[in-house]
Amino acid sequence: MCTGKCARCIGVTLYPLAVISIICNIILFFPNWETQWAMEEREGLGNRITQEVKYMGGVIGGGIMVLIPAIHIHLTGKEGCCANRCGMFLSIAFAAVGVAGALYSFIVAILGLVHGPTCMIFPELLPIWTTPFTDREESYLSDSNLWSICKKPENVVEFNLALFSILLVVSSLELILCAFQMVNGLFGCLCGTCRDKGPV
């Protein structure tokens, strides 16, 4: 496959990944599909949303910082002067931005999974909002019996676990594709996009 076709395939593949990343991050602001907790935090009633969600790894990192390079990478595969060597050279820099964004999203997703969600514990005594799994020696991921510690929002552990896992997988794919485009861009810069050798 020539470097131009490869760039277009990578760009097209990055579009849905970036969109999925943005959507997952936005949904994480509404644990158990409820707007109540985000509104309470906005009103200054204390932390209700998991800290890693507010880092916006999915929106900024895996979303915007991947989507903009994806557009350029996709357009790089089109015909240009000098076999589009300049475009392929620029795609290396754009792909590097994508790598940085995907890496940021990946790290935030890891932290979100390791630290666990912010939730209410002891509602029958004194409601306390905290991140109960952060300082534990054993990981809550390997012991689902611990998940019942979180009383509100309901099912917040499963909710965060599912969405942060999706972000982890998506950012991994974005990282691989953007890194591959850096190599592809280098070959395209040296050899051209092959567009002048025949129809795509």
Residue 99, in any domain of the structure: yes
Q: Is residue 75 domain-resident?
A: yes
pLDDT confidence of residue 153: 92
In angstroms, the CA 88 to CA 94 distance is 10
**Domain coverage including residue 119:** 3-194
Residues in the chain: 200
- Residue 168 within any structural domain of the chain: yes
Q: What is the pLDDT of residues 111-141, one digit of tens each?
A: 999 999 999 998 777 888 999 998 888 889 9
User: Which one is predicted more confidently, 29 or 74?
Assistant: 29
Number of domains the chain contains: 1
Instruction: Flag whether pLDDT at 157 surpasses 50.
Output: yes
| Domain-embedded: residue 62 | yes
Residue 146 predicted with pLDDT over 80: yes
Residue 126 is assigned to a structural domain of this protein:
yes
3-state DSSP assignment of residue 179: helix
Q: What is the predicted pLDDT for the residue at 81?
A: 44
Contact residues for 149 (Cβ-Cβ < 8 A; gap 6+): 119, 121, 132, 133
pLDDT in tens, 33-80: 999 989 988 888 788 899 999 999 999 999 999 999 999 888 886 655
151 by Cβ neighbours in 10 Å (0-12 / 13-18 / 19+) ranks as middle
Q: Is residue 89 part of a domain?
A: yes
Query: Which residue's entry shows tokens 């809550």?
Result: 140
The single-letter code of the amino acid at 194 is C
Indicate whether 42 belongs to any domain. yes
**How many CA atoms lie within 13 Å of 94's alpha carbon, on the beta-carbon side?**
25
Answer whether residue 199 is part of any domain: no
What are the structure tokens assigned to 87, written together?
A: 């475009």
